[in-house]
Structure 1
Amino acid sequence: MSIDLQAAKRRLMIMGAIDLAAIVAALAAAAGYFGLHLGWALAAFAGALAIGFGAQIWFIAGLRRTGGGA
């Protein structure tokens, strides 16, 4: 099976947008935890990291399903 380049590009753009939002959220949570001493911000930081990694796994899994991944 060959890879659908349009679908892969679309998934890449979605993953990039989710990762960008997760980075912003993680930075804000880290600033809240370290700068403002908000205890709940540590959980928000961990959640943002998990969402960012999840988006990357989703992208790779989509490539493997089409047979275009490693």
Structure 2
Amino acid sequence: MSRPRACSDDTLLLVVQLVRAGWSQRAISEVLNGLDIPTPNDCSHWYASYVCRLLQTRDGRRLLAVIS
């Protein structure tokens, strides 16, 4: 059984929308930092690797498949 996702639905949706719009994971992390959106593990800063991991969650993969 997987653990629950630690970020909000709104954050995940924003990330997926930006990916679908062609934004890089690094650019998305900069946007999230600029909006002061907390990271899933309460670190002080978003990194591209956090965005990548978020997209690899079950919910992230599902949204990527649905939103075009």
Common fold by TM > 0.5: no
Structure having the higher Rg: 1
Greater relative contact order (Cα < 8 A, sep 6+): 1
Q: Normalising by structure 1, what TM-score?
A: 0.29
Structure with greater helix share of residues: 1
